Amino acid sequence: MTGGLFIGLLFFPALLLANEAIVLSVSGNVRTKKETDTQWTAVREKQSLTSGQQIHTQTRASRIKIQLADNSRLDVGPNTILNLENLRRDAPSIKIFLGKLRAKISKVRRTKFEIKTPVAVCAVRGTELAIEVDEAGNTGVDVYEGIVAIAKNDTPGKEMLVSEGEHLDVFKDRPLSPQNKGELDQDSKVVKNEVGLDMSKEQVQAAAAAEMRLAEYQEGKTLIDVFGKRVRLAEYIMRPAADTFKLVVLNERDDRFDYFYYRGQFNKDLPADLSVALKQITGQVDSPPEYYLKNYETGRSNTQDKIQEIASGGHLVDINNNSVTSDDITSIYDPGSDTIIDITGRKYYQSVFDTYEYKINDIKKMYYTETNLSSPDLANWKYAGETMQTAMEWPSGEDFFHQRISNFYGNGTWEKWDNYIISDEGKIAPQSAFSGQTTGTAYKKELVNWNYQQVITASEFAGRKIDLVVEPKIMIESGLIK
């Protein structure tokens, strides 16, 4: 699962009570206490929160995501202090004293949701916004969707409306002023407009349309999937930053929409020919590669459910000489000679990550946090329910490319990955089509005639699935497949 490439709403068996919130995910050092308490306690995933509870993300690496009873969501940034003042549906309010908060307030609510700061009150309904409060209480508000009515605490009757795509600064020692309002800066627009998780079909398509204009590789076609459904497929690779690449795959069927992205940040700015760096992602023999991944993120979604991988702290390791024999690579494909070469005992450098998280609907399933690892095998892996068992089978017979990988966790949850190679007509590829080849020029020449399909089901999906079809051609051309 750590390789990244192909390895909404959170479903809970019971509905939240009207005066409760629940912790979707937590990372770093996050504490909570009631206003009347003196002791802070650590926050846990799935923990229920009630009115009057304070939250403190205590370090630069700390953050927490919270879901309210009406499906509104709060993403609390690092070094932030806030109070969940009132979680009742009829009069909800929170107060942020310091730090950063991103909130997506449900469109179904009939009453306004108040977000208070030391100097202002923001009244929102069906809105997505970000708020930042400095140590003096000065407040910056970015509105990504909807309208926010903002009033200063010392002049409650005077409101200013901030619309989608606008920013407003509210200062402690100055009155509200149109001079302090303007359009979102370019970085803030990218945060909203870039394809990512927790987006509707329409938002993904709009963001993808903008990204495709910058794409360096792009493919698209219509085909039939393994279930006989027609799929409109679009794929592109672009560089959102000088040192970063991003692969996006969009699948549209008559009755569903699924998408995937893989975003990787390298150790330095990428070359003009992007494929030079992408070919080095899997590692290099004898000498360290010039380009390697420092961080990456993958996301899969059907606009309701999502699967996410996040890895950071990438550094080069000679994995054939680190005393961990299970990681040793004994042979690789050499594009120069178009042959498999023996590298037993030779140096082989790959990027190894200090932290890794794999999450389904914001719930951690497997993860580790280490420092300067020499191999993932040395990481202190943690799993949902403390254990994980994996099973592999070939449901369509060993003569066909249909592999199922199932993970079963100690807490009773599970997920299944059905991986296919299929034709444009939805037929599963026989093993004989590739004549036993799994890499090399002949393999890639045959692979462009086929497609990957990956169907993921999970105990958290409530009977739903994430169903993705990918054309390998774009990955061959860009160097992601050697």
Torsion of CA 314, 315, 318, 319, to 10 degrees: -20
Task: Give the C-alpha separation, 364 to 310, whole Å.
Answer: 11
Same domain, 238 and 179: no
Assess whether 132 and 111 both reside in one domain: yes
Beta-carbon contacts of residue 418 (< 8 Å; ≥ 6 apart): 395, 402, 403, 404, 454, 455, 456, 457
Residues 272 and 170 in one domain: no
pLDDT at residue 18, rounded to an integer: 47
* Any domain includes 405: yes
155 lies in some domain = yes
Q: Are residues 116 and 247 in the same domain?
A: no
Pairing of the two strands 113-116 and 93-104: parallel
- pTM recorded for the entire structure: 0.64
What local confidence, expressed as pLDDT, does residue 9 receive? 24
Low-confidence ranges of the chain (pLDDT < 70): 1-19, 108-110, 185-193, 323-328, 333-338, 438, 482
Of 363, 460, 384, the residue nearest 416 (C-alpha): 460
Q: Which of 155, 190, 225 is the last residue of a domain?
A: 190
Same domain, 173 and 206: no
Could you give the CA distance from residue 418 to residue 17 in angstroms, rounded to a whole number? 36
pLDDT value of position 19: 54
CA 288 from chain centre, in angstroms, equals: 29
Same domain assignment for residues 357 and 324: yes
pLDDT of residue 229: 96
Give the tens place of pLDDT for each residue, 182-209: 887 655 554 556 888 878 888 888 888 8
The residues near 169 (Cβ < 8 Å, ≥ 6 apart) are 138, 139, 140, 141, 180, 181
Q: Angle at Cα 124 formed by Cα 120 and Cα 127, nearest 5°?
A: 125
What's the number of CA atoms in the CB half-sphere (13 Å) around residue 352? Answer: 22
Tell me how far apart the alpha carbons of residues 379 and 384 are, in angstroms, rounded to a whole number: 16
Q: What is the pLDDT of residue 117?
A: 96
Q: Are residues 181 and 219 in the same domain?
A: no
Domains contained in the chain, number: 2
Q: Would you say 230 and 468 are in contact if contact means Cβ atoms under 8 Å apart?
A: no
Query: In this predicted structure, what is the pLDDT of residue 10?
Result: 24
Asked if residue 226 and residue 146 are part of one domain, the reply reads no
353 in the same domain as 237: yes
Domain limits for position 51:
20-190
* Same domain as 419, residue 283: yes
Question: 76 in a domain, yes or no?
Answer: yes
Backbone phi, psi, residue 352, to 5°: -115, 140
Say what the pLDDT of residue 271 is: 87
CB 361 within 8 A of CB 306: yes
Residues 326 and 466 in one domain: yes
Q: Is residue 15 part of a domain?
A: no
How would you label 326-359 residue by residue, b for 16+ Cβ within 10 Å and e otherwise? Answer: ebeeeebbeeeeeeeeebeeeebbbbbbbbbbbb
Run of H or E including 189: helix 186-193
Residue 316 CA to residue 146 CA, distance in Å, equals 45
Measured CA to CA, the distance from residue 113 to residue 173 in angstroms comes to 25
